[in-house]
Chains A and B, each alone.
Chain A
Amino acid sequence: MSPLPFSLSPHICVLPSPDLTELFASSALPPLPHILQSFSPLPQVTTRTTSLVSVPHTSFALRFSDLAEIEVACQEEEEERAVRTIDWVGARINKRCSKWVEDIEKIGDKGAPRTPWWDELRRCAEGDLVPSKSEGWNHPVAVIFAVSTTAPNPLQAITALHSRNVEFPAWVDPNFLQYTLIVHPHNSPLSDEEAGALFNAVKKQFGLHSYLLPLALPQPPPSAVPVPALMPRLPPHPSLKSSSSTSMASPDLPTHPNSLNTLRMAEIDIQQTARFTREFVVMSLLPWMEKCVVEWNENFSSTRRLPSRLFSSTRRLFGSPSPSPSPAHHPSSSVSSLPSRMGSHVPGSVISPLSPPSQQQRLAEFASMLGDIKLATQVWEAIRKEGKSGSDILPLLLSPSPTLQLHVMNAISHPYTQIPDPPAHAQLRSLKYAVRWEGGIANSDFISNTLEGERWLVWAAGNAEETPAALLLAHAALLSSLKKKKKRAALWYLIAANRLEKCGIKPLTMYFLRRAHELYKDRPQKEVSPLFWEAEGKPPMDIQGIDAIMSGIEHPLGRLLYTTGNVGSAVQLFMGLLRGSSQTSSSIFPSSLHGGASNNASKIPGTDKVYLDDFRVAFSHLKSTSKDGWKLLDLNLPFRFCLERQTCIRFPGSRDERSSGIWQRREDDWKLFLKSRGAKEDLSTKDNALVNDVFWVDLVLQNPLDTEVNLSNVTILVQTSNTGPSQEDFLEVGIIDDVVLSAKELHTVPIYIKSTRPASLSITHAKYDFLSLLPTKESLATRGRRLHDTPLQRQEPTYSPNIIKKVEVVEAVHKMLVSFVDDEHLTLIQGERRSIGLSLSNSGMRPINDVWIIAGPEDEILLDVDDKSAINTPEISETLFSANSLASAMPLQILSAVHEQSVLNPGDNLKVSITFHADYIGDRDLSLLFVYRENESSPFQSAHLTRTYRVNSLLETSVSAQVSHTLDHSFIVDLGISNISSTTIQVTQVTCLSPNWRCIPISEDVIGSMLPSQSSHIILGANWCNEGSGSRDTLDFVTRKLNDVLQGATVEVSMPPPIHVLCSHLSKAQRTFSINLPRIQEFINLGKRNTVSRAIAHAHPHIPDESYPLIFPLYNPASVDFVIFWEINAQRKSGHIFVPGVVLGARHAPLRDIIAEAESTKVKRSMYAETRREKLEILDAVRESEWNAETDPVVLSVQETNVVSHDFDQGPCCTPITIILRNHSSTYASRFMLRFTVHTFLKQISRRYLVPFHVGPLSFRGTLEPLQVYTVHPQLWITIPGTYGLGGWSLETEVLEGPPGRAVRHRYRQEVPLVKDGSCLIVSSIQSL
């Protein structure tokens, strides 16, 4: 067992006489208690237990104090004193800690088992000598009355001292040894003999507990001898300071904490004093104590022999108070103690509510002091069981076992632990216990896993927020770190720092925070398999701790550093905190750390804002105070704003994302065109910046923080590889003054660059001032690709060098600028032909010889040429020879077409006019790609031009057709036109286009002016006309191509055969536009092509639009289309509208065979259901298409003779009716049978008509050749006048194909009334005159 802590040693009070005090003062000596204290502990003292076993003590500690001082201190309220003590300890620590921290950091030994602040705290706690109400350790064991022989009457002085009341309160144990000390200095007026006589007299009067101490006390005082430092003591309460203690030197000695405690005593005096001290202890104190122990033990063991119930009831019976001290009355002690007791207890104090410590407790304490561990343990256990003290001392006496923890918990638990700020005396008591345990138990045992003593300190600290509690925690942390429990140590350091910070002890707070930081960061190697890391390709120790811990340590540390003036370090810490909570941490924590109800309201607010504000404040302060000092800190942002991979370089005219698809299609069209011409030249797509031309770096910035930040002076750093003039001379780089990024915002910042001479530029860094304070630059280089060339590279990830964005600025050798001449918003009327001016200028250094315009497939544009023959071809009809191809328009070549000199020299400007025609109503973009080159050998360059235009509607048109009932025409076509604009227009000409049908106007000429909302109809009769060629070939072409489509074969590359299109003009004016004029023809072709393409795209969604020209022709031979030419004279506008018309005539499912073939082909099972479904859809689309139409070719109609007048007097009337049968098929003959039945008649004709009787044949048979018309004339026999219904005829038709013998292709039967339900014959009677 290690010796008991100092605070558990016997306490001896000294009462010096004034003359003695004077004597020491004159000899430059401290007061007597301090001198005596210097001789404690005594070496080699032996005590005896109750069983008379010797207990050797290698050192025996004693505590000496001034009696007067203790008396005064006892008067102070315990709580008040505790408060003062805690403040005093805090002040002591605060005063000295900065030096300690400095020293420790200088030495760098952070793992030392002791720290100065702990020692200081321990000494402060141990040094307390004032008796306490709760324990008896500080109650004096002996009082030494000391006088010197220099007193005028030493004996009287001694008597005076002995007769003085010892003014202890009632609760202080009055049982103590009284001892008399006579100091006999060398220069005493008494001789040695006289002194001896005095001593004998004293012995006789005051007992044997006396001593004569002869001292030399040479003058001048000898050199100082170092002695152990005195324990610090709480200065007395200012209001309670008694007169007697004023003479005492301040107990808070030494005044200079770091100076050595010395004693200026001669060698012989030292020996004499040592002898006295030893004799006092061995001859008087120990025997007295041992005697007390033996005596009290008798009482104790006698009570224990009785059953406790009996004992307690006995006690109750006799009304004995608590086992209060029955003062020992044996001869030796009675002499000494009796008077004092009698004297000390003033009558009033007898009924003090508080009693002195119980005899049992004193017994336990004395036994502990004397080293009688067995007895002490026994007694303490008994006391503990009674629920009093004892738990605090047992851990010191018992051998280490887990039960000690329970004792400790019991000792510390008190009613105040539950509240956050326990009263001071409770705190102080916990502190004392903790200090005793820490000092009284061997360190190895204390921190062993059995005891876990460091936890005791934490428990002792409790919730108190005072300096001692914080230091207890800090010491626990230190012990824990010695045990290699670093994580726990970090926690305790953090909590210690937290509490200490509230006490305002900043240097130590910062030290603790740093320790917590170090310990938290110090992660030992985890015992995991190396494969654990290798399996995921992660570097070992890639450990991300729990996020908020680091900031929880660093943030207060940073703030403390800032408040203590270490702004530089604070700034560094604050910057470290800005690690962007988005990256790793907040992704998992804020989402999951809110409550179980997961309501967003309880979401943790981002901490970035707090850190950022702190950083801003601290850094701006640093900048304002330290001039350029902050530059030395080498501050680097721990996160990035630039997304270097998304950052890109943008050249003027290069595509933005929205329109890049359009330009790509234009370029593809151009390449296709070049290919079709067999040319090999390619379009130069290399993006180069040109001299004096601005280009941009689109810097993509993302805010990683969840708070708003601003960046100022955002720019980029450019490096030039050129030698020569410095880059400032020729390079201009844009600077954005201020960019504000809200939380997590992504923002693209374009920064322009302009170079006035050719150079090779590397875009290396982005540069900005973070928060307008910290200049920062970020590299824009991206990592190269992963290399896989060698085995080593495959094993270890290796990357090619970083990629830096580079730009070549070259001279503008070839450069053409294109623009529209006027920039106003372009609004067109439907079908309007508008001339648009383009301006081409060569701003390069070389001439341009070749310029092309590529427009979109739907854009109808033509170059304006002087064409004077546009008008005045007054023919009614003409024939148009069409290539019949759906292929897109060719690119337009400009220079050769319009520019006579055909070269655009540098600096030249060329105005070109194009005619633009727009049919499609709404807003659209006109995107024109210009390609140009110098000559045949140079590559093509490109330029883009875009303009948005709007087309307003003008006319609403409709086309319908029906079978004609006359012999003149096969079909009647009705073209309806209505003016839906708000202006009056002139319809100047209507042209009908059809390869096979010739249209003749039937109605009156309606062409002319149309008022708003006016509508009119043009009725045309259509007749088959076989003048043109190409119809048959066209049909064959479609059949062949669709067969390929259905069979899934590659469609052969061939264009449809050309076709002749009949055009009939309907014009009132003298001027008729000839369709054959190239410009008109071109426009009509474009219009037709757009219409047909749209229709195909709708009907055959699975056929790609590139192959339309290879499959479908432009004109269906049976189609009838119209072109309406209009003018608005007031606005001097003219245009034309293409009206897609109808398909006339009968067809006979010409694709029937190929469809059947496709259906009967063995189905190849495809893996994908989608493919099969698609094929079926293609087949259905072909079956339903206009090319596979099937109709009954024979149409019958009656030539009505509405009224027949007959004189019935002359007999019944016999009148014929004419029935016309017309075969509309141009390809197949048909066999027909026409039959009349009453049954049919009754079914068809309403009852209000009379039924005519037929005479002659009622059924007709025959064969109609293609397009043949046949008339039959059945006779009616009418007997009475009336209204006769005409009907009851049914027609059966068989379409014949092949040679004579003729197979039947289709069969039809129709029971149609000859005309509508009203068709009738009115027969009226007239009287013959």
Chain B
Amino acid sequence: MSHHLFLLSPSDTPLYTLTHYSTKPTPSVTSPLSANLPNWSTSAFAGTLTALSGASSATHHTTGGGVRMGGGQDRHVIQMIANASLDAIEDAMRKENLMYLKTVDKFNEWTISAFITPGNMKFVLLHEGKNDDGIRQFFVEVWELYVKTMLNPFHTAHTIIRSPVFDTRVRASAKKYL
């Protein structure tokens, strides 16, 4: 089971992303529509292209593997889902006054939980199971880590987070809660 975390600035620029593969067992599927995301593989017509161009070495990249996706070829679909959920998050932000917005959106088997800091940073998490409490605690810890990062006077709301300390701690937190 994988989790995808995105930290987005108020202008929706991604500042940090993380893919976490949880070892915990997948809880029972909540959505009756739980299904796999489409397997987008451009290789479907890579062969056509090769044939058309007559070049034997035109393209030979591996397909994304099975329908399960982690961070391979379908990275952009995961990112697209995170991006698409921003619509729902913006709605939820207007309605609710809380930082933890719980589940804001669903795309096939992916559930999207969000957390909005007072500074209007958006934390978006794509996950498959239901784990409200763990996710809330995870978000609060990430928030704390983010605030500590922001204490750096050279860090602004636009700065991409490259701190290895932040990365390690977020990973540890993900391991703990997700």
Contact = CB atoms under 8 A, between A and B. Distances in A.
Nearest to B106: A455
Contacts of A487: 83-87
A865 interface: no
A593 B71 contact: yes
Interface in A460-494: 462-463, 465, 485-488, 490-491, 494
Contact of B58 (A495, A498, A614): A614
B67 interface: yes
Contacts of B18: 592-593
A617 B71 contact: no
Contacts, number: 177
Contacts of B57: 613
B55 interface: yes
Contacts of A463: 35-36, 38, 108
Contacts of A501: 44-45
Interface stretch (B134-142, B144-152, B167-175): B167-175
A593 B19 contact: yes
A888 interface: no
Interface in B52-90: 52-53, 55, 57-59, 61, 67, 70-72, 75-77, 79-88
B49 A617 contact: yes
Given A588-B160, A593-B75, A559 B84 contact: no
A591 B79 CA distance: 15
19 contacts: A487-B83, A494-B77, A495-B38, A495-B40, A499-B38, A528-B10, A536-B157, A538-B158, A544-B13, A548-B76, A552-B79, A555-B42, A562-B49, A587-B162, A591-B162, A592-B17, A593-B18, A594-B71, A596-B21
B61 A610 contact: yes
Contacts of A418: 34-35
Contacts of B39: 420
Interface string A567-601: 00000000000000000000111011111111000
Given A593-B19, A596-B171, A617-B59, 20 more contacts: A409-B33, A459-B33, A487-B83, A490-B83, A491-B81, A499-B38, A526-B10, A541-B11, A543-B13, A549-B79, A588-B161, A589-B17, A592-B18, A592-B19, A593-B18, A594-B19, A595-B71, A598-B171, A604-B75, A617-B49
Nearest to B167: A592
Contacts of A449: 91
Contact of A532 (B17, B58, B157): B157
B35 to A, nearest CB: 5
B156 interface: yes
Nearest to B120: A528
Interface in A489-520: 490-491, 494-495, 498-499, 501-502, 520
A535 interface: yes
A592 B71 CA distance: 10
A741 interface: no
**Taking each of A463, A544, A596, A597, which has the highest tally of chain B beta carbons within 10 Å of its own beta carbon?**
A596
Contacts of B157: 532, 536
A1193 interface: no
**Taking each of A413, A486, A552, A563, which has the highest tally of chain B beta carbons within 10 Å of its own beta carbon?**
A552
B20 to A, nearest CB: 5
Contacts of A547: 14, 79
A488 B84 contact: yes
Given A498-B40, A555-B42, A604-B75, A417 B11 contact: no
Interface string A952-982: 0000000000000000000000000000000
A546 B14 contact: yes
Contacts of A609: 61
Contacts of A329: none
A596 B48 contact: no
Contact of B107 (A491, A560, A563, A589): A491
B80 A417 contact: no
B80 A552 contact: yes
A552 B76 contact: yes
B160 A587 contact: yes
A609 B58 CA distance: 11
Interface string A610-621: 100110011001
A222 interface: no
Nearest to B107: A491
B153 interface: no
A418 B34 CA distance: 7
Given A413-B33, A420-B36, A588-B160, A562 B52 contact: yes
Contacts of A552: 40, 75-77, 79-80
A602 B19 CA distance: 11
Nearest to B10: A528
A888 to B, nearest CB: 48
Closest 7 CB pairs between A and B? A552-B76, A548-B76, A491-B84, A546-B79, A488-B84, A485-B87, A593-B71
B15 interface: yes
Interface of A: 409, 412-413, 417-418, 420, 449, 459, 462-463, 465, 485-488, 490-491, 494-495, 498-499, 501-502, 520, 523, 526, 528, 532, 535-536, 538, 541-549, 551-553, 555-556, 559-560, 562-563, 587-589, 591-598, 602, 604, 609-610, 613-614, 617-618, 621
Interface of A is mostly: helix
Contact of B162 (A588, A596, A602, A617): A588
A523 B79 CA distance: 16
Contacts of B48: 563
Contact of B12 (A538, A543, A591): A543
A559 B50 CA distance: 11
A420 B41 CA distance: 15
Contacts of A588: 14-17, 160-162
Contacts of A548: 75-76, 79
Contacts of A596: 19-21, 171, 174-175
Contacts of B58: 613-614, 617
A241 B142 CA distance: 67
A563 B51 CA distance: 10
B44 to A, nearest CB: 6
Nearest to B17: A592
Nearest to A526: B11
A559 B174 contact: no
A542 B11 contact: yes
B11 A546 contact: no
A466 to B, nearest CB: 12
Contacts of B21: 595-597
Given A501-B44, A548-B76, A532 B67 contact: no
Contact of B35 (A462, A528, A551): A462
Contacts of B12: 523, 526, 543, 545
B80 A614 contact: no
Interface string B23-45: 00000000011111011101011
Nearest to A528: B10
A563 B46 CA distance: 10
Contacts of A545: 12-14, 83
A459 B18 CA distance: 28
A418 B10 CA distance: 37
Contacts of B175: 596
Given A409-B32, A595-B19, A491 B162 contact: no
Contact of A563 (B45, B75, B79, B171): B45
A614 B49 contact: yes
A589 B55 CA distance: 32
B42 A556 contact: yes
A609 B61 CA distance: 9
A593 B17 contact: yes
A119 to B, nearest CB: 25
Given A563-B48, A563-B52, A593-B75, A613 B20 contact: no
B95 to A, nearest CB: 10
Contacts of B158: 536, 538, 542
Nearest to B12: A543
A565 to B, nearest CB: 9
A395 to B, nearest CB: 16
